[in-house]
């Protein structure tokens, strides 16, 4: 049984078990001392041995995240975005908490504070990153914790999936504006996004050696979810690609993601189309496939969605179009 006592102005928690060396630690508050003792006793009850908590007691969340950023993040395909996310977390005061003191209330307060300035989806990703870093520390870095406190923290409700589709003559407005602009690759990129449902990153990574105009198939060796896939090409997509074909390039589009983002932003602002993202063209492409009569499995093989639940978020059929098919 743990004992809690006040000693020289601080609260000391002590855990003693027969046949084992006693462990004690002092805290500024009684609640922190009680939490530390409960965590230690829970670990002892589960393992039958008193774990060495000294590493966890001297290691801060900052140190865990910094090590995770160096050793784990670079192995992921999303390394750039995850490292940027960790750098943002490292600027928060919660990172000064040691691993034994870090509590669910600390993380809940962090969540609520961040919700004042960023979207719920950002908070969900940040908490998931923290949680995975703590799990890695527990499994591989000798950080003994009875539980991962981040797993107990309630995540904010995720945002609803976007339903934005092209309406009326918006597609033609975009194409005409792209023709009038100085960015020559923008029109073919818009056309291919609508015809293939590819993501921006997939379009930018598309290489000529992986395109077979004869069989009308574009091969993607690596997509966002880590799998390869073959994308069938429509007649319009073939015509667009033939207009871009050249021996001077290995990739279809030789430009950076941020350059595309800025060009799209200028284009939509110039024509006055609000709340329209380049990724919405993927929504449009998937919805059009369903409207043409493709079934769920066929659409998933084209779009690369691994979960049908996620596919439903990208599919927004027009009621008027469905009504025409009903007798």
Q: How confident is the model at residue 326 (pLDDT cuts 50, 70, 90)?
A: low
The C-alpha angle with vertex 238 and arms to 236 and 241, in degrees rounded to 5, equals 110
For residue 322, pLDDT over 80 is answered with: no
b (16+ CB within 10 A) / e for 224-236:
eeeeebebebeee
- Active-site residue 219, yes or no? no
pLDDT digits (tens, 9 = 90+) for 205-217: 899 999 999 999 9
Burial of 123 (0-12, 13-18, 19+ CB in 10 A): buried
Per-residue pLDDT of 20-48, as tens digits, reads 677 888 888 888 888 888 877 777 777 65
Q: Count the Cβ atoms, other than its own, within 10 Å of residue 3.
A: 13
SS (H, E, C) 20-85: CCCEEEEECCHHHHHHHHHHHHHHHHHHCCCCCCHHHHHCEHHHHHHHHHHHCHHHCCCHHHHHHH
Residue 305 annotated as catalytic: yes
At which residue do the structure tokens 């003693």 appear? 16
φ and ψ at residue 266, rounded to 5 degrees: -65, -40
Q: Which of 17, 125, 155, 279 is catalytic?
A: 279
Average pLDDT over all residues of the chain: 86
How confident is residue 50, by pLDDT bands cut at 50, 70 and 90?
A: low
CATH topology of domain 170-324: hpI Integrase; Chain A (1.10.443)
Q: Is 307 helix (H, G, I), strand (E, B) or coil?
A: coil
Active-site entry in 187, 200, 282, 288 = 282
In angstroms and rounded to an integer, the radius of gyration of the C-alpha atoms of the chain is: 27
What six digits make up the tokens of 15?
A: 């855990």
Measure the CA–CA gap between 142 and 291, rounded to whole angstroms. 54
Buried b (16+ CB within 10 A) or exposed e, 81-105: ebbebbeebeeeebbebebbbbbbe
User: Token digits for 295?
Assistant: 């079934």
Domain spans of the chain? 3-51, 57-152, 170-324
Residue 74, token pair as written in the block: 């670079």
Q: What CATH fold (topology level) applies to the domain 57-152?
A: DNA polymerase; domain 1 (1.10.150)
Write phi, then psi, for 43 (nearest 5 degrees): -65, -40
Query: In angstroms, rounded to a whole number, what is the distance separating the alpha carbons of residues 165 and 282?
Result: 9
Within 10 angstroms of residue 47's Cβ, the number of other Cβ atoms is: 11
- Of the listed 69, 187, 229, 314, which one is catalytic? 314
**Tens of pLDDT, residues 110-131:** 999 999 999 898 999 999 999 9
Q: Which of the residues 6, 151, 224, 249 is marked catalytic?
A: 224
Q: Is 46 one of the annotated active-site residues of the chain?
A: no
Nearest C-alpha neighbor of 234 from the set 148, 292, 275, 279: 292
Asked about 68 being catalytic, the answer comes back as no
Rounded average pLDDT over 165-179:
90
Domains 57-152 and 170-324 share a fold: no
Contact predicate 205/229, CB 8 Å: no
Averaged pLDDT for residues 76-96: 91
Q: Select which of 35, 199, 200, 283 is catalytic.
A: 199
Answer whether 308's CB lies under 8 Å from 300's CB. Answer: yes
Q: What is the pTM of this model?
A: 0.64
Beta bridge partners of 219: 230
């Amino acid at each position: 049984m743990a004992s809690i006592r006040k000693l020289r102005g601080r609260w000391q928690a002590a855990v003693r078990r027969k046949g084992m060396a006693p462990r004690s630690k002092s805290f500024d508050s009684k609640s922190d001392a009680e939490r530390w003792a409960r965590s230690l006793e829970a670990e002892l009850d589960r393992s039958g041995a008193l774990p060495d908590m000294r590493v966890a007691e001297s290691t801060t969340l900052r140190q865990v995240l910094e090590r995770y950023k160096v050793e784990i993040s670079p192995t992921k395909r999303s390394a750039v975005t995850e490292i940027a996310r960790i750098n943002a977390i490292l600027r928060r005061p919660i990172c000064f908490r040691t691993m034994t003191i870090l509590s669910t209330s600390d993380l809940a307060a962090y969540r609520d504070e961040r919700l004042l300035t960023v979207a719920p989806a950002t908070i969900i990703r940040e908490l998931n990153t923290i949680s995975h870093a703590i799990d890695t520390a527990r499994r591989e870095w000798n950080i003994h914790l009875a539980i991962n406190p981040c797993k107990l923290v309630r995540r904010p409700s995720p945002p609803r999936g976007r339903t934005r589709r092209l309406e009326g003559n918006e597609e033609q407005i975009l194409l005409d504006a792209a023709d009038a602009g100085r960015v020559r690759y923008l029109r073919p990129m818009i056309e291919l996004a609508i015809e293939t449902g590819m993501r921006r990153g997939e379009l930018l990574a598309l290489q000529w050696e992986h395109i077979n105009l004869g069989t009308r198939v574009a091969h993607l060796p690596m997509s966002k979810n880590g799998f390869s896939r073959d994308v069938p090409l429509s007649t319009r997509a073939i015509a667009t690609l033939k207009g871009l074909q050249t021996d001077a390039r290995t990739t279809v589009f030789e430009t950076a993601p941020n350059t595309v983002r800025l060009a799209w932003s200028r284009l939509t602002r110039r024509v006055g189309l609000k709340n329209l993202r380049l990724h919405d063209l993927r929504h449009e492409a998937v919805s059009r496939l369903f409207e043409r009569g493709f079934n769920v499995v066929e659409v998933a093989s084209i779009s690369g969605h691994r979960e049908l639940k996620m596919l439903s978020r990208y599919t927004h059929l027009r009621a008027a179009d469905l009504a025409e098919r009903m007798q």
